[in-house]
Structure 1
């Protein structure tokens, strides 16, 4: 499956990981049932999936208002992504 993944253009250009590096591999690990490995690869995988689900509900379920949920999850996801990226850049590289 990894041979079909898209390369990170940011990493190819600048030589360092971008804030979303590991998302594809993490999703692949998640689909294989490796939940802890998926989290280690990209800690924001679970908040990203929750955000995606809430966006789908926001788009398709017009009877309820999901706007506050989407905004809250987007902020939480952004914080998790930023914190994990800073941690990775500071302690891994």
Structure 2
């Protein structure tokens, strides 16, 4: 069974959490769109995932590297971790600022 078929069968969209910041304050938070972006990724819609939440790919790279560095000893792992964290944070902030422009 393919992952997209499994997601359709489970109807995972019914279980997505609402954004409490948007509900109470009426404005998006820096993480708005992350769940839907992950759903697009699971469906194989990579461009739609990027359009929904552009920071998804740096975030995936960061978490993948963090898992990878726990298993293997790397020479410059602190520099790589810092760089990936910086790029991910910058992507989140830029995306958040562009939502209001």
Verify same fold: TM over 0.5: yes
TM-score w.r.t. structure 2 length? Answer: 0.81
1:64 aligns with 2:74: yes
Give the equivalent residue in structure 2 for 1:2. Answer: 13
Q: Which stretches in structure 2 are left out of the alignment for 5+ residues?
A: 1-11
Alignment deviations for residues 64-85 of structure 1 (CA, whole Å, 9 cap, x no partner): 2422111101101111111111
Q: Which stretches in structure 1 are left out of the alignment for 5+ residues?
A: none
Quick check: which has more Rg, 1 or 2? 2
Runs ≥4 in structure 1, deviation > 6 angstroms?
none
TM-score w.r.t. structure 1 length? Answer: 0.87
**What is the root-mean-square deviation of aligned Cα atoms in Å?**
1.2
1:34 to 45, 51, 70: 45
Q: What is the correspondence of 1:12-27 to structure 2 with a 5 Å cutoff?
A: 12-27=23-38
Alignment deviations for residues 6-32 of structure 1 (CA, whole Å, 9 cap, x no partner): 111211221111001100100110110
